[in-house]
Structure 1
């Protein structure tokens, strides 16, 4: 019997379209290929009878796929774009190549900046000089949390939208990310590290 259980997240949908259109979408260590302009409309038409995924879900999954570092790396000037069957078409324009490079750089800068902050914090905790109780109470990590939260307010489900920049309350320090899908009860957010998490709106803060 054909499986009619609906997909519940972008990862499942990306795996599905990768298996269904392997000459267009790739996974793992296989280099990605620039997608044809208008590929979303082609997907909708080809998956018209597919009951497991909606247009909204498909759009969110496609956005996550094209914002990944692996995909942004492949969008270079004069590289051929492909359709769902792997047929080459127009070249990637200089404008699109420059936009992809800028997006990739900004994403990596944010991730590396977060990693640097984490490393510095860990080094400060391990440093021999940080042995007195008063200094531990005024550790830089706590000051950063106060500054972050003072500029943001808790999110409500109604005000969230796709591509909106938010901060996710994970542990003590809010983590920056981008909304990629707003569902009935939850919100899917792609962190700057590339990881995708599903949280409730009350766990998000916005400007």
Structure 2
């Protein structure tokens, strides 16, 4: 039973043509031969009953074959073209030879440009991999400078004594780092009760007051 599975790419079709028409189509290290002008029509007629390949596929495969560097190299002036059976016919014209040379040159330049571009891209990717990764260090918010404490001049005050104190007298109570203003509200035997400007009342010794 013959294999009727359709070809799926040009490579398969070109291999098939090389097998069917070895005196016309070549592959591998064998030099290509210039094809007869109008060979496609002849080829389409010969393969009209071949279920594995359509005319459209044939046209695409033939185009790929004739644009290959190996084929373009063989298109030289005065070289004879061949038909499907390898029978030689017309010679390659100077115009066709010149066109093939130009096409070959452009194709190679494009291929080399793409290769260079890919090489540069690969090199850039390698450099990017080797480059040290930047680490974003969060900036630290500078703490505001501490406010300078206003130190009150206490040289004009003196330590209070019981005998010098009187009710409703303005005094300063030595609490913590700075004296706090207040008013004497009660004078006892050993202590003095002072109401601070904040409304709070404290009981302290006279020596903790300055007037």
TM range (shorter): 0.5 to 0.7
Tell me what 1:148 maps to: none
Give the Cα–Cα distance (whole angstroms) in 1 for the partners of residues 3 and 125 of structure 2. 52
Tell me what 1:98 maps to: 98
Report 1:11-160 matches (<5 A): 11-124=11-124, 131=131, 133=133
Give the Cα–Cα distance (whole angstroms) in 1 for the partners of residues 50 and 127 of structure 2. 57
Judged with a 3 Å threshold, the aligned counterparts in structure 2 of structure 1 residues 126 and 53 are, in CA distance, closer, same or farther, namely closer
| Residues 56-110 of structure 1: CA deviation (Å, up to 9, x unaligned) | 1111111111111111111111111000000000010111111111111111101
For residue 12 of structure 1, report the CA deviation from its aligned partner: 1.1
Give the Cα–Cα distance (whole angstroms) in 2 for the partners of residues 77 and 109 of structure 1. 23
Greater CA radius of gyration, 1 or 2?
2
With normalisation by structure 2, the TM-score equals 0.58
For residue 117 of structure 1, report the CA deviation from its aligned partner: 2.1
**C-alpha RMSD over aligned residues:** 1.9
Secondary structure in 2 matching 1:58: helix
Secondary structure in 2 matching 1:117: helix
For residue 122 of structure 1, report the CA deviation from its aligned partner: 3.8
For residue 50 of structure 1, report the CA deviation from its aligned partner: 1.2
More helix as a share of residues: 1
Judged with a 3 Å threshold, the aligned counterparts in structure 2 of structure 1 residues 133 and 14 are, in CA distance, closer, same or farther, namely same
Count the aligned residue pairs: 133
Give the Cα–Cα distance (whole angstroms) in 1 for the partners of residues 38 and 6 of structure 2. 25
